[in-house]
Amino acid sequence: MALVEQTHRNSVTSSKTVTEGAVTHGLEKQKDNEQVAEKPYSIYTRREKWFIVMVASSAALFSPLTANVYFPAIPTIASAFHTSIESINLSVTVYMVLQGISPMFWGTMADSVGRRPILLACLLVLCLSCIGLALVPTSAYWLLMLLRCIQAAGSASTVALGAGVIGDIGTPAERGGFFGIFALGPQVGPALGPIVGGILADKLGWRSIFWFLCMMSAACFALMLIFLPETLRRLVGDGSVIPSPFYRPLVPLVGKGRPPSPLMNNPLRLLFYLDVLNLLVFNGILYAVFYAVNTTISTIFATKYPFLNEIDIGLCFLVIGGGMTISTVLSGKMLDADFQRTKNRLVKKAEEDPEKRIRPEDVTREENFPVERARLRMIPIFTAIFVLTCGGYGWSLQRETNIAVPLILQFILGYTFMAIMNCMQTLLVDLLPSQSSSITACNNLVRCSLGALMVSVIDLLVNALGPGWTYVLLAGICMACSPMIWLAIWIGPRCRAKRRARNTAA
């Protein structure tokens, strides 16, 4: 009997010990899980992230700058090469074609071999092409066209690469603000480029434009060589992995990393994602219409307001660029606020759910968060304003109203256009953050292809219909495409779920 009682006591003690061990193990596992969950997305501090974004933004300046600084000098260059303005406009078209194609190459490489070396390579190509353009003989029109293509190949990808950097270091809650500040660089180009181009062409000759771009791109190359760290997550993780010397800045203020073997992906396959293609086409159509406005400012204003000289016309670009610049900052804050508002609403709903189907801390997981609705909330309003302003802008030029009227409408166009572009770009990176450069390259391909097509026909449309009916037609195209916004909100979660299922199965 005593033996039975002793055995029973030993069994209870053993069971208690096992239970306590299991509880302890469970608590330790829960603690480990909490520590993993609390691990930051990136080791960079908030200040370091802003520094990286600003450096990337300085490179992204060159994509629009090299295009817009050229516009006021088009009549002068046409005269120097003894050719028509339409022939020089063709150099704008080929520039846009390469602007759309080249990021597909550079962006894919950046997603594989790293952001830093590809950014440096792009700036080097840009600098050398600008030297060639500054020295091109006026008897070699073909060489002007070729060098403009090479210039576009160097400058155009900097926006896609900068977007990739933001995808590497920023969480979804931060990306809206980062893109808002990052876009300041690309918007300085449309704002100041035509002014600088007009002044240089008027005072120092058209060749000085390219010497200016050469010096600016060389200075940016030096800035990135000295300070920019590698950020590609498959190479440096969250920034805590030590890289090879090739990936390190000369002055390592931030960032660490060690590169694994590169893996190249075909970015064109992203065009077969229905939700992505829908966004790219809508974005591209609005971009083409906006570019039609931008490229015809110098020719239409010179015709409708003959009292303007080259410098005055260059200053007219400042208004539309100013609207874009202000929009970059405000729309970035709006995107972060919309994301936080959506998150808070979902957290409150999760806390009040009696069945607790989703924990409050899990609402921002991809499968639970309606990122399309959060990012596109204001797009219908901005699109409606853009459409109305576009039509009004055309008729203000048709009726030759006071020059203040089309300039004010330009400001509104610039503001709404940039707000739409920032929302779209941020959403695209949210959908595929690990391929942020590739998705931005696809964005450039679609919008620049449509933009090049628009540039090739816009003068024909204006001459045939006049600016009034031309821009009413373009506004109508934008309005007809507006249902694509609601289509994106409807199909987006379904398409993301299918991609997750395929990735899980693989």
The predicted structure's pLDDT at residue 253: 67
Q: Between the CA atoms of 458, 459, 461 and 467, what dihedral angle is there, to the nearest 10 degrees?
A: 90
At residue 347, what is the residue type?
V
Q: Between the CA atoms of 478, 480, 481 and 486, what dihedral angle is there, to the nearest 10 degrees?
A: 130
CA distance 365 to 442: 25
Specify the 3-state DSSP secondary structure of 33: helix
At residue 148, what is the residue type?
R
- C-beta of residue 472 within 8 angstroms of C-beta of residue 339: no
Which structure tokens are listed for 311?
């410098």
CA distance 300 to 154: 30
H or E segment to which residue 59 belongs:
helix 46-60
- C-beta of residue 455 within 8 angstroms of C-beta of residue 93: yes
Instruction: State the DSSP string of 138-181.
Output: TT-HHHHHHHHHHHHHHHTTHHHHHHHHHHHH--HHHHHHHHHH
Asked whether residue 24 carries a pLDDT value surpassing 50, the answer given is no
- Lowest model confidence (mean pLDDT) among 220-229, 274-283, 331-340: 331-340
Asked whether residue 491 carries a pLDDT value surpassing 50, the answer given is yes
By percentage, how much of the chain surpasses pLDDT 70?
Answer: 88
At residue 286, what is the residue type?
L
The predicted structure's pLDDT at residue 351: 79
The predicted structure's pLDDT at residue 475: 93
Q: Of 152, 53, 60, which Cα lies nearest the Cα of 101?
A: 152
Q: List the helix and strand counts (H, then E) for the chain.
A: 19, 0
The predicted structure's pLDDT at residue 256: 44
- C-beta of residue 86 within 8 angstroms of C-beta of residue 215: no
Q: How confident is the model at residue 411 (pLDDT cuts 50, 70, 90)?
A: very high
Q: How confident is the model at residue 312 (pLDDT cuts 50, 70, 90)?
A: confident
Asked whether residue 114 carries a pLDDT value surpassing 60, the answer given is yes
pLDDT mean across residues, the chain = 81
Q: What is the largest CA-CA distance in the chain?
A: 118
Looking at domain 44-505, its CATH architecture is: Up-down Bundle (1.20)
CA distance 114 to 458: 38
CA 65 to chain centre: 15
Binning the chain into helix, strand and coil, the percentages to the nearest 5 are 80, 0, 20
Q: How confident is the model at residue 130 (pLDDT cuts 50, 70, 90)?
A: very high
Asked whether residue 157 carries a pLDDT value surpassing 70, the answer given is yes
pLDDT digits 0-9 by tens, 59-79: 888 887 887 788 778 778 888
The predicted structure's pLDDT at residue 409: 93
pLDDT digits 0-9 by tens, 336-384: 888 888 888 888 887 777 777 777 777 777 777 888 888 898 999 999 9
Give the number of other Cβ atoms within 10 Å of residue 76's Cβ.
Answer: 18
Which structure tokens are listed for 305?
């307001």
Asked whether residue 291 carries a pLDDT value surpassing 80, the answer given is yes
Average pLDDT value for residue range 273-290: 92
- C-beta of residue 187 within 8 angstroms of C-beta of residue 162: no
The residue written with tokens 């050469």 in the block is 214
The predicted structure's pLDDT at residue 193: 79
16/223: higher pLDDT: 223
Can you give the pTM of this predicted structure? 0.63
pLDDT digits 0-9 by tens, 231-279: 888 888 877 777 777 787 877 766 444 344 444 566 778 888 899 899 9
The predicted structure's pLDDT at residue 198: 82
The residue written with tokens 């008729």 in the block is 395
CB-count exposure of residue 347 (10 Å: 0-12, 13-18, 19+): middle
At residue 250, what is the residue type?
L
Average pLDDT value for residue range 275-287: 92
Specify the 3-state DSSP secondary structure of 241: coil
Q: How far is CA 199 from CA 19, 62, 136, 192, 234, in A?
A: 81, 18, 21, 11, 45
For CA atoms 43, 46, 48, 51, the dihedral sign is positive
The predicted structure's pLDDT at residue 105: 83
The predicted structure's pLDDT at residue 298: 79
Asked whether residue 322 carries a pLDDT value surpassing 70, the answer given is yes
The predicted structure's pLDDT at residue 496: 87
Q: Of 106, 80, 182, which Cα lies nearest the Cα of 445?
A: 106
- C-beta of residue 333 within 8 angstroms of C-beta of residue 378: no
